[in-house]
Amino acid sequence: MRAPDTNAESPANKSANKPATVHATAISLPAGGVLLTGPPGSGKSSLAYRLIALHTARLVADDRVRLVAHENALYAETPSRLAGLMEVRGIGILRMDYLARAQLDLAVELVAADAVPRIAEPHYLESTGRHLPLIRLHAFDTDIAAKIELALTHIAAGGFREDGIYG
């Protein structure tokens, strides 16, 4: 199942193209950009920090992410007052290297371990008239970094498969 088509020039999409600010964390990995969503305390910042510490990710924005549509893509931008800042629960606020903007390829909703589906269902995060494939994962699974890389490689690049078989 593919994401619904959007036409950035359509009059109906003009209001949908306005930037939106969301409670989330955005990171950039070699395979693509990821928007981490979930309620407070779900592990968004913790997961982003673990991926940054592994030297596989770069911070775009923590806590608040500005979503901007450009052509057929959705981009994450860091709000200027939060640029380069990340809250690490139990430690404090860290100043770190960051990217001011990155294209997003995947949304990951962080959920409780028992709410993770066995096979990813075709869900999309819609913002500013664009759709991102959305998967649900538990932030504290030991193999979450590998799962995100797999999702970027298979789901973000090729869409959801009805049979759930990738590769």
pLDDT in tens, 29-88: 999 999 999 999 999 999 999 999 998 899 999 999 999 999 999 999 999 999 999 999
* Confidence at residue 3, expressed as pLDDT on a 0 to 100 scale: 47
How many whole angstroms separate alpha carbon 13 and alpha carbon 88?
Answer: 37
* Confidence at residue 64, expressed as pLDDT on a 0 to 100 scale: 96
Reported as type and span, the H/E element at residue 35 is strand 32-37
Tell me: pLDDT of 131 over 60.
Answer: yes
pLDDT band, residue 8 (cuts 50/70/90): very low
Q: Of the ranges 9-13, 115-119, 136-140, which one carries the lowest mean pLDDT score?
A: 9-13
* Confidence at residue 13, expressed as pLDDT on a 0 to 100 scale: 47
CB atoms inside a 10 Å sphere around CB 85: 17
- Burial label for 125, CB within 10 Å (0-12, 13-18, 19+), is buried
What pTM, to 2 d.p., does this model score?
A: 0.89
Least Cα distance to 131 among 161, 107, 110 occurs for 107
CATH superfamily, domain 13-158, is P-loop containing nucleotide triphosphate hydrolases (3.40.50.300)
* Confidence at residue 16, expressed as pLDDT on a 0 to 100 scale: 65
- Burial label for 88, CB within 10 Å (0-12, 13-18, 19+), is middle
